[in-house]
Chains A and B, each alone.
With several copies, the nearest count.
Chain A
Amino acid sequence: MALDKNGIAKRIAQEVQNGYYVNLGIGIPTLVANFVRDDLEVEFQSENGILGMGPFPFEGEEDADLINAGKQTITALPGASYFDSSLSFGMIRGKHVDLTILGAMEVAEDGDIANWKIPGKMVKGMGGAMDLVASAENIIVAMQHTNRAGESKLLKRCSLPITGVNCVKKIVTDLACIEITKEGFLLLERAPGVSVETIKKATAGTLIVPVDVPEMSL
């Protein structure tokens, strides 16, 4: 059965290692924080200017001056710090952030990503995504395997304006966990109950299928 959003987030949470500073994009990536193992030392950075981001506040404790990059009210954990946008992107550009998790509209088999613009239709802007994908050493994309029209989002080449080149390292979708390799999309794991055949059909780019493709353990 295909994963729901929480399932995708849960699988991605397994990629978070001890001592990681992690930047979470808007949408599914935000959910990842809920599934990171408690025994790991991890800090979440939000590019609008906080390190050590905590959960949403209790009702009545919201502070308009304390939000994340999704403009949601948040809290700060012990050891947190606030800083300006210039230093915040300094952390990102300077490779001090260990892992970036973000959504995408398309990913190409060479690691290109498109997630900021549909010409003539949707032009919200790239926000911090271009900085993140240009600098992060470790980028995981969280997304649905296909779009609403049922078309694959894992392509040979991106059809939409790209956000960055050769940058995505791993993709976790509702169907599979996939690594980007020089040869193309390497199928690492299937979502529970999802067949290799289903994943093949839903993938437009080159899919490399090893002899044994284990199910995710969630």
Chain B
Amino acid sequence: MIAKNVDNVKQALEGVSSNMTLMLGGFGLCGIPENAIAELVRLGISGITCISNNAGVDDFGLGLLLQKKQIKKMISSYVGENAEFERQMLSGELEVELIPQGTLAERCRAAQVGIPAFYTPAGYGTEVAEGKEVLDFKGKPHLLEHAFEADFSIIKAWKGDTAGNLIFKATARNFNAPMAGAGKVCVAEVEELLPAGQLDPNQIHIPGIFVQRIFQGKFFEKRIEQRTITQK
């Protein structure tokens, strides 16, 4: 077994520095690496290019990095929940590249599995297609999309073991799975870190080979964005 566990978030993020490209998992506030984000704020690094489906809300998730103007560029599919984001974008302080969500996910997975490029129909005929190679398959035009390149991918899982194996919970799996191993270094924070051998090898969502460093997060607020309930 190859041990991947480190003691804390500080060790996990060693080597992260300004002007890097970071991938961060999560969908909305669901499954985001809270501990790593807090540490990125503390580190005070800036000029970050961020690949993440969303940009958090004003005072949580990636919104915390936006507040401190640590992010130079966001690569996302949907950023509608964040007023500070909109302000920085419209004022030109923040570069933004919007990408169809399925393409975003697949470009992460492509990086993970060594596929440099693939064709998808998403975005054909739209702004997204500008400058991209188009090829018809069965008469339907598709765009050539490339694997992302990132220095670090930072993800969050439910359970993990010291070998780096990960299990996600419910819809918190989202981008955390395809981002695993998609950056040069993959850091995973987990709610519960177990000794290798405690997880059923048949139930592992992401094998440890994709993860370089794993640690148990100190806190998880797990904030709910839209609390919707059914009346009894």
Contact = CB atoms under 8 A, between A and B. Distances in A.
Interface string B137-170: 0000000000000000000001001110100111
B229 A56 contact: yes
B30 A96 contact: no
Nearest to B158: A65
Contacts of B177: 84-86
Nearest to B221: A64
A64 B175 CA distance: 16
B29 interface: yes
Nearest to A119: B127
Contact of A93 (B53, B122, B161, B204): B122
Interface in A39-61: 41-43, 45-52, 55-59
Task: Please classify how large the interface on chain A is, using the bins under 10, 10 to 19, 20 to 34, 35 or more.
Answer: 35 or more
Interface centre among A79, A92, A120, A164 (most CB of B within 10 A): A79
A173 interface: no
Contacts of A77: 1
Nearest to A97: B209
Contacts of A88: 102, 105
Interface of A: 19-21, 41-43, 45-52, 55-59, 62-74, 76-97, 112, 117, 120, 123-131, 134-135, 161-165
28 contacts: A19-B2, A41-B1, A43-B208, A43-B209, A47-B101, A47-B102, A48-B171, A56-B230, A66-B171, A67-B27, A71-B28, A71-B29, A71-B226, A73-B224, A78-B1, A84-B178, A85-B27, A85-B102, A87-B113, A91-B113, A93-B102, A125-B98, A126-B128, A130-B122, A135-B122, A163-B126, A165-B124, A165-B126
